[in-house]
């Protein structure tokens, strides 16, 4: 009898382990970047770097616990805990609490803060979302929905408002994003037109900033978050390129598939507030490999009409894998 009870207890414990819902996904990439500066007094650079991410998700019914671990070249042996949050529901209200990245767009940089809270529910087809954090600076209410094929959202923030509208007509997608601030001369906006013709994908975007605000978004049009060239060390600290207040951006992208490769060309122009116009030409070839990894080669030229300190040709070779 005792043996039977012991066997039953062991079987029960094994069943509980087998029923645990835990998943691990992630990815890694290694890059070699050569930067050839046009200015002779700036030293060319050759940089190897890596980026590793692990996403762990534990789930019990409709409740999830998410943790994202990351390690980059600049962090040495440290494995940083980035996103970490819990999602669940109370009746018809979905809730989320913790820390997570709010994502990228054309006009503003992404951010991640502790003590964030979000709750949303749907009423008569309209989604209502309340966002807050411990500092109170990001408290906001968003109403979003779709009417007649037009997707729209309005976000009432502490110091302004955010408006997004998008729709697709005859295969052409139009997307408008306005980030309006109560501070004078601090509005930003973008309008994107995209579509596909005979297997060729086309996209065009215009990003505008008032005289007292800076575009610092990270998108296919360019990475304008803090970073870029370090004029002291003559090195590329990140792939970003800092802009100044009032500078506007226009960009066009063309991409297609050819012989198993994805080929893309992006042209980005930055209007200078003092005549310092800057242009970027980026050519990218991406190919999946039999090893399960993806190889990507990107060649970028940067040209500044007023200053040659940042003029450069950049070759970036990347090997990436996701699992």
37 has which bridge partners? 312
Q: Tell me if residue 60 falls in helix, strand or coil.
A: strand
- Please give the helix or strand (H or E) that residue 296 lies within, else none: strand 294-304
Question: Could you tell me the sign of the dihedral formed by the alpha carbons of 286, 267, 29, 113, in that order?
Answer: negative
User: How many other CB atoms are found less than 10 A from the CB of residue 68?
Assistant: 21
Concatenating the DSSP letter of every residue in 196-242 gives EETTEEEEEEEEEE-TT-----EETTEE-SS--EETTTTEE-SS---
Q: Is the dihedral of CA 92, 98, 104, 110 positive or negative?
A: positive
In our burial notation (b when 16+ CB lie closer than 10 A, e otherwise), range 186-209 reads bbbbbbbebbeeeeeeebbbebbb
Question: What pLDDT is recorded for position 242?
Answer: 83
Can you give the pLDDT of all 323 residues of the chain as single tens digits? 544 544 444 444 444 444 459 999 999 999 999 999 887 666 788 999 999 999 999 999 999 999 999 998 765 667 889 999 999 999 999 999 999 998 889 999 888 888 999 999 999 999 999 999 987 777 899 999 999 999 999 999 999 999 999 999 999 999 999 999 999 999 999 999 999 999 999 999 999 999 999 999 999 999 998 655 444 444 445 556 888 899 999 999 999 999 999 999 999 999 977 666 889 999 999 999 999 999 999 999 998 876 666 788 999 999 999 99
Global pTM value: 0.85
Cα gap 73→54, rounded to integer Å: 15
Q: Give me the torsion for CA of 251, 252, 258, 261, rounded to 10°.
A: 10
Can you give the pLDDT at residue 110? 85
Q: Are 271 and 260 in contact, with CB atoms under 8 Å apart?
A: no
Tell me the C-alpha distance between 101 and 308, whole Å. 35
b/e burial code for range 284-320 (CB count within 10 A of at least 16 → b): bebeeeeeebbebebebebebeeeeebbbbbebebbe
Q: Read off the tokens for 176.
A: 């408008």
pLDDT of residue 20: 59
Give me the CATH code for the 22-322 domain, please: 2.40.160.10
Q: In angstroms, rounded to a whole number, what is the distance separating the alpha carbons of residues 244 and 228?
A: 13
Q: Is 145 exposed, middle or buried (0-12, 13-18, 19+ CB in 10 A)?
A: middle
Domains of the chain, residue spans: 22-322
């Amino acid at each position: 009898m005792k043996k039977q009870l012991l066997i039953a207890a062991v079987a029960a414990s094994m069943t509980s382990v087998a029923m645990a819902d835990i998943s691990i996904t992630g990815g890694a990439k290694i890059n070699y970047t050569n930067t050839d500066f046009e200015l002779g007094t700036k030293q060319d650079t050759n940089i190897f770097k890596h980026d590793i991410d692990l996403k762990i998700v534990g789930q019990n019914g409709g409740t999830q616990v998410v943790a994202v671990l990351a390690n980059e070249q600049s962090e040495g042996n440290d494995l940083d805990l980035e996103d970490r949050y819990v999602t669940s529901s109370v009746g018809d209200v979905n809730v989320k609490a913790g820390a997570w990245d709010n994502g990228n767009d054309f006009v503003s940089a992404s951010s991640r803060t502790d003590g964030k809270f979000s709750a949303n529910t749907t009423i008569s087809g309209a989604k209502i979302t309340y966002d807050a954090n411990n500092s109170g600076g990001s408290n906001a209410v968003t109403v979003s929905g779709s009417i007649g094929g037009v997707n729209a959202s309005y976000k009432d923030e502490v110091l302004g408002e955010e408006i997004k509208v998008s729709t697709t007509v005859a295969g052409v997608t139009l997307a408008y994003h306005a980030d309006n601030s109560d501070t004078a001369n601090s509005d930003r906006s973008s309008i994107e037109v995209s579509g596909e013709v005979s297997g060729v994908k086309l996209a065009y975007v215009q990003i505008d900033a008032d005289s007292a605000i800076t575009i610092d978004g990270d998108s296919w049009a360019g990475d304008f978050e803090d970073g870029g060239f370090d004029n002291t060390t003559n090195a590329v600290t990140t792939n970003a390129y800092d802009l100044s207040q009032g500078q506007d951006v226009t960009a066009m992208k063309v991409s297609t598939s050819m012989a198993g490769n994805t080929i893309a060309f992006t042209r980005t122009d930055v209007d200078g507030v003092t005549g310092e116009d800057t242009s970027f030409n980026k050519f990218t070839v991406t190919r999946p490999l039999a090893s399960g990894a993806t190889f990507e080669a990107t060649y970028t030229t940067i040209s500044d009409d007023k200053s040659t300190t940042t003029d450069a040709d950049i070759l970036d070779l990347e090997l990436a894998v996701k699992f």
